[in-house]
Structure 1
Amino acid sequence: MAAAPPIESIVLADIALVLLAGTVMVKLGKRLRQPPVVGEITVGLMLGPSVLGLLPGDIPGMLFPGEALPMLSIVAQVGLVLFMFLAGMELDVTLLRGKGRAVSAMAGLSLAVPFALGAGAAALLYGRYGTGDVSHGVFALYLGTAFSITAFPVLARIIRDGGLSRTRVGALAMACAALGDVLAWCLLAVVVAVAQTGGVSRSASVIAWSVAYGLVMFLAVRPLAHRVVTRLSRDGDHGMLTTLVVSGVFLSSCATSWIGIHAIFGAFVFGMVMPRDALPGQLGQVAVSLEKVSALFLPVFFVITGLSVDVGALGWAGLLALLLIVAVAMVGKFAGAALPARLSGMSWREAGAFGTLMNTRGLTEIVILDIGRELGLISDQMFTMMVLMALLTTVVASPLLRALRMWPPAPAAAAGGGLPRPSERGPRDVTDDDTPLERV
């Protein structure tokens, strides 16, 4: 009998399997007019206990043995931090200029309403789906944050694919999602700090270090990055620029991990401090290269996530809880976004489209849920239900926009007034329609 293959060979075979399965599902998702992230999340669920685990034998355990998981996790982590860096570059804060008051009010409500409803739902869910090591307060803060998320990269893809970039609905959604993402990540950083230190008072040092880190990044690293990128771009030294950017991503991730929040915060902030005026040039080409690397590694993250999702273990009680979670998530985000939009002067159709766009969660939600699972903030069953909620709220966005006749927009709407066309500078400007960032 042949000896078992070395674990390194199994890891390589696993990565090949994930890439092939992901390619098939992404192509299928495009036919169904779904964002590629929907197909990749589905692959993660299919290869885990929710689908393959229903067949005789422990097929997920055979394909992804325990010894291979640490190596696969490292691959997934590389893809994840590069994705978060690119997401930080994509987050164009110039969208907020000149419209801060209106955007701040609507972004705040689209964040506050689902946060409040999520924290309220936590009171009903904590007894059964909380963990003994986490207080009800931390559980409620975390769940409220998870309910309030909008996936900015998925939202940007839907808006661009639907031709909504030049409508006031699309421009407002991009601006509100940009501000909402910043606020949500800051809130999550506080929740993680509190959870890891066991209380608000003991988390003071972590929060203080986080503030100091942010000041250093925006006051020192940002101007330094601008000078370095400008000089290397002028010299045409693409290789050196790529090396420095990747090293900066990893070192920034290491810094936030050492502080006690999470590695992805460092990658995200490092992306935010990159000079946007350099994106059409050499820095944009670096982004394209990193998109390709992230697109190869990130699907492994979905499989690692999918191995922790077991739909069959929910039972009837879990099904009722899932319905509650989906209802609270969709109603909270829709009401928090659509009603203020209607009061601001939009038609019901436009307000409905705005609420639908703000309800997309996708990969950003999965990342936040993985942090909660990793820190023991939620149980495995709660993790499963929240992943399904993230998938469902993303899947329904495209059909609802088509039902509202907002995809593609009418010519009059595209030429209408309201907020001006958002800036489209960023990695997308130097890529074609098939670049890997389109996968998110």
Structure 2
Amino acid sequence: MPVAPIPANELLIFLLQVGLLLLLASSFGRLATRLGLPAVVGELSVGVLLGPSVLAHLAPSLSSWLFPARVEQFHLLDAVGQIGVLLLVGITGIHMDMGMVRRRGAAAAGISIGGLVVPLGFGIAVGLALSGSLMPADTDPVVFALFMGVAMCVSAIPVIAKILMDMRMLHRNIGQLVLTAGMVDDAFGWVMLSIVSALATTGLQTGNVVTSVASMFAVVLAAFTVGRPLARAGFRFAARTADSGPTVAIAATMILLGGVGTHALGLEAVFGAFVCGILIGSAIGPGRPHLAPLRTVVVSVLAPIFFATAGLRMDLTSLGEPDVLVAGLLLVVVAILGKFAGAYLGARISRLNHWEGLALGAGLNARGVIGVVVAMVGLQLGILSVQAYTIVVLVAIVTSLMAPPILRLTMARIEQTAEEELRENSYLQDAAPARVADSPTQV
């Protein structure tokens, strides 16, 4: 029996949602760049304005019609957003300089460890202190504290990637180190999240934890032993024609199927997308003009829709309660200090200078929509109350807003190397054929 098409009214609302979000996200993103901020700041704010934080209070009838509280309707938007974020993370992986990562692997490892251990410890301590006031009645205080630790130690690879792209910093060594350390932090964060989720539901099972870690190592091993030669063969075949279509199609297919693979293993889909992006970059090599159309569509269309959609889930009105506001401010301060202190300490131990340490702290401090996703998981599992969920979302927003100005300040004091200039030329070659509009926040 054939499946019925989307009902006319649901299709109408979906198309209106996508068109409106894209229009406003593009406009607000351009406004943000004129104010000296990355476009992602404006794109995230669109969702906040159109979501329960603002529009639902100013015009509830319009809000309920434009964004009806129906799961299937919101899932249509989610699907578009997920494609956007996977392709965005994949493009980020394409521009990773693995030669630099191998040369500075020890520094990336030190930064990752510092950026994980310190904020994790701070988050657990504050979670225990605030468990009596913010924790749901039937939640174990230890589980609540562990969850707050996880929320404090994650970084947002999609947000960091978009910030680095907007600020033309993806080619810088610090940008590459931020992405490398951030990916390690996120991978650890997802494993920790699965552990805490197991504690909250069926109890801790060692087999589940071991399986998750083993799956991550298996993905990386398979990618660079089997995936790399297959990717090179595919792109050699695509290079037989001057048309960029086959190259774009193969790259997009690899990224999406990479996400499918890791998601099927119980890992996050963005992890597979990032790994496949690295494979694509190593297979094609420097100078990737054939991929410029893909980058244009993702950065200019799909990514703004994703960030605007993420903002729709945020409800900041509960911050009007004084107790919640005080607890929120405390957690924001702890989150910022923990991530900055950990990344800075790891950078200094790895023999990076003062300004490089601060720049790494600023980049890794951005939690963005990953923080929101973690908060949503906690809310769904009953680990977080509505107030605690709102505070974690607040941390994600504030830390993402802090990253661009601090990065701009610190990177202005770090001299660009000849290797970085070569990498920048390759990056600009990718963008130039498609006439991608760059942010004026170049460092």
- TM-score normalised by length of structure 2: 0.80
Structure 1 residue 154 displacement after superposition: 5.2
- Between 1:257-266 and 1:6-15, the stretch displaced more is 257-266
Report how far residue 262 of structure 1 moved: 3.0
The Cα of 1:220 is off from its aligned counterpart by: 1.0
Equivalent in 81, 102, 106 of residue 101 of structure 1: 106
> For residues 319 and 358 of structure 1, do their structure 2 counterparts lie closer, same or farther at Cα, with a shift above 3 Å needed?
same
Measure the CA separation in 1 of the matches of 2:38 and 2:212: 36
State how 1:398-417 maps to structure 2 within 5 Å: 398-400=404-406, 406=410, 408-409=412-413, 413-414=414-415
Q: CA 1:427–1:234 in 2, change beyond 3 Å: closer, same or farther? A: farther
Q: Is residue 2:26 matched to residue 1:23?
A: yes
Give the partner amino acid of 2:230: L
Q: Which amino acid aligns with 1:13?
A: L
**C-alpha offsets along residues 18-56 of structure 1, whole Å, 9 cap, x if unaligned?**
111112211221122111111111111111111112215
> Aligned residues: percent identity?
30
1:117 aligns with 2:118: no
Equivalent residues of 2:33, 2:439 under 8 A apart: no
Aligned-pair distance for 1:287?
Answer: 5.6
**What is the rounded CA distance, in whole Å, between the counterparts of 1:251 and 1:322 in structure 2?**
39
Task: Report the equivalent of 2:316.
Answer: 311
Contact 1:88 1:269 in 2 (8 A): yes
After superposition, give the CA deviation of every residue in 1:188-226 in whole Å (9 maximum; x if it has no partner).
332344326842324144544444334322321122112
Q: Please say if residues 309 and 380 of structure 1, whose CA atoms lie closer than 8 Å, have aligned partners that are also in contact.
A: no
Measure, in 1, the Cα distance between the counterparts of 2:301 and 2:165.
Answer: 23
Kindly provide the amino acid, as one letter, of the partner of residue 20 in structure 2.
L
In the alignment, is the contact (CA less than 8 A) between 2:96 and 2:176 conserved in 1? no
Verify the 8 A CA contact 1:107 1:176 in the aligned structure 2: no
Deviation (angstroms), 1:17: 1.0
- C-alpha distance in 2, partners of 1:369/1:24? 28
C-alpha change, 1:10 and 1:161, in structure 2 (3 Å) is closer
Counterparts of 2:379 and 2:86, CA distance in 1:
18
Greater CA deviation, 153-162 or 28-37? Answer: 153-162
Q: Which residue of 1 aligns with 2:274?
A: 268
Separation of aligned partners in 2, 1:374 and 1:80: 22
The amino acid across from 2:122 in the alignment is L
1:230 aligns to what?
Answer: 236
Q: Is the 8 A contact 1:233 1:281 kept in 2?
A: no
SS at match of 2:206: coil
The alignment status of 1:90 with 2:91, answered yes or no, reads: no
Of 4, 7, 10 in structure 2, the residue corresponding to residue 7 of structure 1 is 10
Corresponding letter in the other structure for 1:38: V
**CA deviation vs aligned residue, 1:112-142 (integer Å, no higher than 9, x gap):** 2122212222223445545688755555444
Q: Alignment partner for residue 218 of structure 1, among 221, 224, 229?
A: 224
Q: Residue 200 of structure 1 corresponds to which residue in structure 2?
A: 205
1:188 partnered with 2:189: yes
Q: How does 1:142-153 map to 2 (within 5 A)?
A: 142-151=147-156
Distance (whole Å) between structure 2 residues aligned to residue 423 and residue 42 of structure 1: 32
Alignment match, 1:431: 431
Aligned residue for 2:4? Answer: none
The number of aligned residues is: 426
Letter of the structure 1 residue corresponding to residue 339 of structure 2: K
Q: CA separation of 1:407/1:237 partners in 2, compared to 1, >3 Å: closer, same or farther?
A: closer
Q: 1:238 to 1:370 in 2, by over 3 A?
A: farther
* Residues 358-388 of structure 1, C-alpha deviations (whole Å, 9 max, x = no match): 4334455445555655666644433332232
Q: Partner residue of 1:328?
A: 334
SS at match of 1:33: coil
Structure 1 Cα separation of the partners of residues 175 and 402 of structure 2 = 19
CA distance in 1, matches of 2:256, 2:166: 32
The change in CA–CA distance for 1:250 and 1:179 in structure 2 (over 3 A counts) is closer
Matches of 1:134 and 1:436, distance apart in 2: 48
CA contact (8 A) 1:113 1:333 kept: yes
Letter in 2 for 1:143: M
Note closer, same or farther for the CA distance 1:276–1:372 as it changes in structure 2 (3 Å cut). farther
Alignment map for 1:257-406 (pairs within 5 Å) = 257-276=263-282, 278-280=284-286, 284-286=289-291, 288-293=293-298, 295-314=300-319, 315-339=321-345, 341=347, 351-366=357-372, 368-369=374-375, 378-400=384-406, 406=410
The residue that corresponds to 1:33 in the other structure is: 36
Gap change, CA 1:354 and 1:187, over 3 Å in 2: closer
CA distance in 2, matches of 1:255, 1:115: 29
Please say if residues 165 and 421 of structure 1, whose CA atoms lie closer than 8 Å, have aligned partners that are also in contact.
no
TM-score in terms of structure 1 length: 0.81
Cα offset, 1:397, TM superposition: 3.4
CA distance in 1, matches of 2:158, 2:31: 20
Whether the aligned pair in 2 keeps the contact of 1:369 and 1:386 (CA below 8 Å) is: yes
In 2, the alpha carbon distance for the partners of 1:86 and 1:21 equals 24
Cα distance change, pair 352–240 in 1 and its aligned pair in 2 (3 A): closer
Asked if 1:178 corresponds to 2:179, the answer is yes
Task: Name the CA distance, whole Å, in 2 between partners of 1:133 and 1:421.
Answer: 56
Cα drift, residue 184 of structure 1: 1.6
Contact 1:129-1:378 within 8 A present in 2 as well: yes
Shift of 1:429: 4.2
Return closer, same or farther for 1:178/1:416 CA change in 2, 3 Å cut-off: closer
Q: CA deviation at 1:276?
A: 2.6
- Equivalent residue in structure 2 for 1:71, among 76, 81, 85: 76
Q: Find the aligned partners of 2:338 and 2:427 in 1 and give their Cα distance.
A: 32
Query: 1:101: Cα distance to partner?
Result: 3.1
